[in-house]
Amino acid sequence: MTRPYLNDTHDPKLQSWVPGANEADNGFPIQNLPFAVARRRDSQEDFRVMVAIGPYALDLGLLACDTPWHGKAADALAACVKPALNGLMALGQEYWSALRAALSHDLRQGSSAESRLRPMLIERSKLEYALPAQIGDYTDFYISVHHATAVGKQFRPDAPLLPNYKWVPIGYHGRASSIGVSGQQFPRPVGQTRPPEGQEQPNFGPCQRLDFELEMGILIGKGNEAGRRIPIAQADEHVFGLCLFNDWSARDLQAWEYQPLGPFLAKNFASTISPWVVTLEALAPFRRPFSRPESDPQPLPYLQDQTNQESGVLDVELEVYLSTEQSRQQKKDPALLSRSNFKEAYWTVAQLVAHHSVNGCNLQTGDLLGTGTLSGPAKGQEGSLLEMNQGGKNPIDLPWGEQRKFLEDQDEIILKGLCRQDGYPTLSFGECAGRVLPAVP
């Protein structure tokens, strides 16, 4: 199987001199090295680009003052002095790879850089985060056939999937300004809902069917010129990395407003992104073959090539947890709601990039692509409450005695993502947490 970008940074035997970085399943071994923008909590420091290693983060803004390297690695590090990843992301794959290689070399056991880098480490538990990038545009896709089928059955039992679904990656343009980083708290959205039977005027008020959506976010690195499409063979070169993403959804607002143009107020009030961006290069060992059932339409030529067939799929385990005001008062652990996997998606990352640009659309550095809700085929693998409770018909029982059809005030959703396989250290995406506050009167 072809796995692009595999090099010595992926060596499963690599160890780091950083305390705790070699502990089993810590999630941030030297093979990961994800990026974030952060500062010490409750400080007045500037936010800076950092890279995670074990329970620590290495301050790249501080390291850049030392100018320790030459060539592309030095140029990439110099781009990390601003409080966003956009400068680094705009440089392109060769620079990202050079920086990763230099960091891997200096963080390895036996490196002569240990004494110089050790004072630049900060405990991750003491950090607060900003958005990892300035997000200019945001597109949300709909690439889980299991989610699309489950939701479609609630409205069209005999034909849950529309005729175009298996031919074209479905997507729409969302709003970037309300995307917040993990820890985001937002008031319950307010808007119009469908008139009750016998009433002509719609109701207006707080959303009663607030839901989460388990997604992954894809951050665009180097963009393309307007009018020049990105071939699928080059699509991965334009992807800097992936993160966790919760695209909150007001189901009752959406049911009233979505025809004929799609969701509006139901989706633009808040979306939450995880702070740590795992680079596409770090994910290379977790690539899997892409295939379609023979009975399904095969992708059109612009959406398929040999590399995508051999290694287009990413194996990322995903989990959703819920805590409530009552559970936190009782000091109960958050309840696991579901588990799914990104590898179950109907379309790959490269296919999304190729399709998005095939009409000449110019993707730009910092653009975010959401995958859409990522559900699996079995019970317990649903990526939203709408699926779990069949549209609100079957409340979910929580371990501490509460029930939920949809989210209530002070509920907190926590997404987690892991890459695991035998003989390789576990890679973590960290957490993506967001909490619902009462609606503004």
Q: By CB neighbour count within 10 A (0-12 exposed, 13-18 middle, 19+ buried), where does 338 fall?
A: buried
Say what angle helices 93-107 and 71-78 make with each other, to 10 degrees: 100
Q: Average pLDDT of the chain?
A: 96
Burial of 104 (0-12, 13-18, 19+ CB in 10 A): buried
pTM of the model: 0.97
Please state whether beta strands 214-220 and 239-246 pair in parallel, antiparallel, or not at all (unpaired). Answer: antiparallel
Q: What CA–CA distance (Å, rounded) separates 54 from 427?
A: 11
Rounded average pLDDT over 342-346: 98
Residue 224 pLDDT > 60: yes
At 3 the pLDDT is 54
47-104 confidence digits (pLDDT tens): 999 999 999 999 999 999 988 999 999 999 999 999 999 999 999 999 999 999 999 9
What token pair was written down for 243? 């993160």
pLDDT value of residue 417: 98
Give the pLDDT mean for 19-27. 97
DSSP class of residue 108 equals B
Identity of the amino acid at 142? Y
Q: Of 228, 347, 219, which is closest to residue 283 (Cα–Cα)?
A: 219
Query: What residues contact residue 197 under an 8 Å CB cut-off, 6+ apart?
Result: none
Q: What is the pLDDT of residue 155?
A: 86
- In this prediction, residue 272 carries a pLDDT of 98
Give the separation between CA 306 and CA 3, rounded to whole angstroms.
Answer: 11
> What's the CA dihedral at 154, 157, 161, 163 to 10 degrees?
-140
Q: How far apart are CA 150 and CA 133, in angstroms?
A: 33
Give the per-residue pLDDT at 397: 97
Count each helix (H run) and each strand (E run) in the chain, helices first: 11, 26
How far, in Å, are 47, 142, 210, 358 from residue 413 at the CA level? 25, 21, 12, 35
* Confidence at 7, pLDDT banded by 50, 70, 90: very high
Dump pLDDT digits (tens) for 229-272. Answer: 999 999 999 999 999 999 999 999 999 999 999 999 999 999 99
Res 4 pLDDT > 70: no
What is the four-CA torsion angle of 280, 281, 285, 286, rounded to 10 degrees?
Answer: 0
Q: Which residues pair with 171 in a beta bridge?
A: 141
Instruction: Please return the burial class of 420, using the count of CB atoms within 10 Å of its CB with bins 0-12, 13-18 and 19+.
Output: middle
Residue-level pLDDT at 210? 98
| Active-site residue, 147 included | yes
For 307-338, the pLDDT digits (tens) are 999 999 999 999 999 999 999 999 999 999 99
Catalytic residue among 147, 238, 355, 356: 147
> pLDDT-based confidence at 5, cuts 50/70/90?
low
Between CA 236 and CA 221 the distance in angstroms is 10
Angular region, 20: left φ>0, alpha ψ -120 to 50, beta rest: left
* Per-residue pLDDT at 1: 38
**Residue 22 CB coordination number (10 Å):** 16
For residue range 400-420, list pLDDT tens digits in order: 999 999 999 999 999 999 999
Q: Is 315 exposed, middle or buried (0-12, 13-18, 19+ CB in 10 A)?
A: middle
- Is the separation of the CB atoms in 79 and 88 below 8 Å? yes
Token representation of residue 10: 């992926």
- Give the number of other CB atoms < 10 A from CB of residue 190: 16
